[in-house]
Amino acid sequence: MEISRRSCLTVMAAAGIACNRNPAENKTVELIPREELFSDPERAAPTISPDGKKIAWLAPSNGKRNIWVKTLGQDDDRVLTDDRKRGISVFFWQQDSQNILHLQDTGGDENFHLFQTDIDSKNTRNLTPFDGVRSQVIGLSPDHPDQILVALNRRNKELFDAYRIHLKTGNATLEVQNPGDVLDWTADNDLKIRGADAVANGLQETRIRTSDKAPWKTIRKWGFDESNGGTAGFTPDNQGIWLITSLDANAARLVEINLASGEEKILAEDPEYDISGILTHPTRKTLEAVAFVKAKTEWTFLDKSVEADYQYLRVKLGTGNLSISSRSHDDNNWILTYSQANLPAEYHLFDRAQKKLDFLYSSRPALKKYTLAEMEPIEFQSRDGLTIHGYLTMPAGITKNAPTVLLVHGGPWARDHYGYSSLVQLLANRGYAVLQVNYRGSTGYGKKFLNAGDREWSGKMHTDLLDAKKWAIEKGHSDPKRVGIMGGSYGGYATLVGLAYTPEEFACGVDIVGPSNIVTLLKSIPPYWAPMMAMFDKRVGSLSKDEEFLKSVSPLYKADRIVKPLLIGQGANDPRVKQAESDQIVKAMRDAGKPVEYIIFEDEGHGFNNPENSLRFYAATENFLSQYLGGRAEPPSAAHDWKPFLK
């Protein structure tokens, strides 16, 4: 008796088994439970105290991420905080090694408050108790352990003034008032605000002053044709700055400018790849290394002793992602993070003097018993001759003709990287090839590549994705009839574009917090994005001059052309892509008689922070993809039931 393809999918998906057209592909790989991928890591983000005597990390307590601490060499692990709503994601040591600071918002609204917790008393206090105000940390200094500089949009929601918070008393005093165009403040090594990156008259500029009382002077100006750049820090003597800039080059490079003479020298550069970060000594503030993200992250070392230790660690740990994530003030103790695409983050303590490397823990040790998929860098030529880079993850045991998910990164001024991803591993484990594309307009590849994406939303940025799909099919990786598209933020928009503008290209789509109407998106951006409207005008289109063009690149106006299944996920408190963006395209589709599944989480913002919501949404996602692409899925469970959140 012959069983239909649809019946095969239904029966085998319920059993958690892949249903493959090619029997040779039907190899047994154990299904990874969603819980192991999307619940909070067992331990994450270890950070050593400045005095090198204690370690703090994130781990669950009462079902939420909280901060824990222990003394090195002792078994005195203890939880410090008691967050029971959203869980803590960002924390760091105060310079006195006695307190820990962390940032937290409410329900995903991104109005982060700064909290301080004493590691002995466990008392936590809010250092920025201002409703509707966002805190941005500017800097700390080992020479001023009881102070921190923070930017707050307390006076004007569009502008961030610089404040000095006295950490013993909690008093906040205004340090510098924003003149109306500053985006970022930079402190020198004595914790004085002496650098500012601004947007004025449609140009970006860097301003410096010789002391915290001196007048400001503009030392560099550049247009939005340049790669993203700005002040990276002050030289150890505070007499110069390090600037990331693509002026007179294709890719952003690191230059040092003497503030007295104006003399400029190039410290590190690459003709194709932008600088992605720098490494400095924790107290001396000397420049030690510069990073470029190519297929993987590569470091150019300026400090030979750091380079020697790094190479030693490479031999010990391998060729995956290795970063020095935390250092003691004496620079003898390093905490290292090591991972690969098929290895979640593992953490090690390195004693530099003794060349002693101690394993601390794995973030997700339960995954060691499962087969994870490897990620391979790829490149191909777009239809107009541009070299496009990306990554391909094939399911373990499948070498060709796989159902495929084109997973589109957000931003769009960002990029995909090599490394572990729970979402990529979920998709690969369910039998899908995962194709990630750094389409034109992605950052990191120089200004020519970045500018090639200007005003190409739904245009060449989209055809780059179609060219990636074509490449994967021609190489034999992907089944041409089973390719879906998925992404968050801009990636969600790209999903809507894929289904609305090229309705026959994809079998289905999953949109996470993606905008549907660029006009309403730009009219509802967070107030503190207002100084950057000149950048949106250039790269996307002008609200005042190009409204009809912006409508032409908005999937909302082509919602009636969507014929393939669509799943949408949205956070009700999203400050960047408001819920209205998803509401309106869902309404338009339903008015046109088009089916769409719509999930809203009332306690989320731009993406899903709470593990329980991630588990629900990705349970919905894998069951949706299984129905329309033919991969397998973990059976639905009461704990991960998304149906109460359907709208």
Q: Please identify every residue annotated as catalytic.
A: 489, 574, 606
Label residue 416 left, alpha or beta by phi (over 0 means left) and psi (-120 to 50 means alpha). beta
CB 540 within 8 A of CB 459: no
Reduced 3-state DSSP string for 183-249: EEEEECCCCCEEEEEEEECCEEEEEECCCCCCCCEEEEEECCCCCCCEEEEECCCCCEEEEEECCCC
Rounded to whole angstroms, how far apart are CA atoms 200 and 182? 9
Concatenating the DSSP letter of every residue in 82-107 gives ---SS---EEEE-TTSSEEEEEE-ST
CA 459 to chain CA mean position, Å = 24
Q: What are phi and psi of 272, to 5 degrees?
A: -115, -30
Six-digit token string for 334: 């390093």
Q: Are 441 and 538 in contact (CB under 8 A)?
A: no
Token pair of 451 as six digits? 């500018």
- Nearest partner of 91 among 112, 62, 63, judged by Cα: 112
Cα dist from 325 to 346, 348, 488, 509, whole Å: 12, 10, 27, 36
Spatial strand order in the sheet of 54-61: 44-48, 54-61, 64-71, 78-79
| CA separation for the pair 582, 600 (Å, rounded) | 9
| Angstrom distance (rounded) from CA 214 to CA 196 | 13
Q: Using CB atoms within 10 Å of the CB of residue 7, give its burial: 0 to 12 exposed, 13 to 18 middle, 19+ buried.
A: exposed
